[in-house]
Amino acid sequence: MYKPLSSLLCALALLASGAATSAPKTLRLLEDAAESPALDIDLKSSTDGRVIARLCDQCAFLTLQVNASTAVILHGTAATLQTAVDRKGNGATVFFDRETLVVKRIVLWD
């Protein structure tokens, strides 16, 4: 009795996994990230400015916009855009929307 039951369970598991793998899958890119060994950020005001970054060493430079909704994170806690400017030249990871080129968050490195 054990063997027929386990065979049935295995067959059901295979059918279920086959149905799951046949469903169409869509991968959607929500944001892009650029690692910047030397953060290049300038502010026009306390909530408006730009970051120059690139996605790879051979890639062209991108001019990204920062605004009041751009989050800055230092040591796992929220910081200000001015903190990012004060640490200009230090490393950071810049997360941005590829379509609008608006920076969502800047994670400052130690």
pLDDT at 1: 44
Per-residue pLDDT reduced to its tens digit, 13-38 = 655 666 555 557 787 767 899 999 99
Decide if 42 is inside a domain.
yes
Domain enclosing residue 58, as ranges: 32-108
Number of domains in the chain: 1
- Model pTM score: 0.74
| Contacts (Cβ under 8 Å, ≥6 apart) of 46 | 80, 81, 82
pLDDT at 13: 65
Residue 15 resides in a domain: no
pLDDT at 2: 46
Q: What is the mean pLDDT of each run of 10 residues along the chain (110 residues)?
A: 54 58 69 92 95 91 96 97 96 95 96
CA 36 to CA 103: how far, in whole Å?
13
In a domain, 16, yes or no: no
| Inside any domain, residue 77 | yes
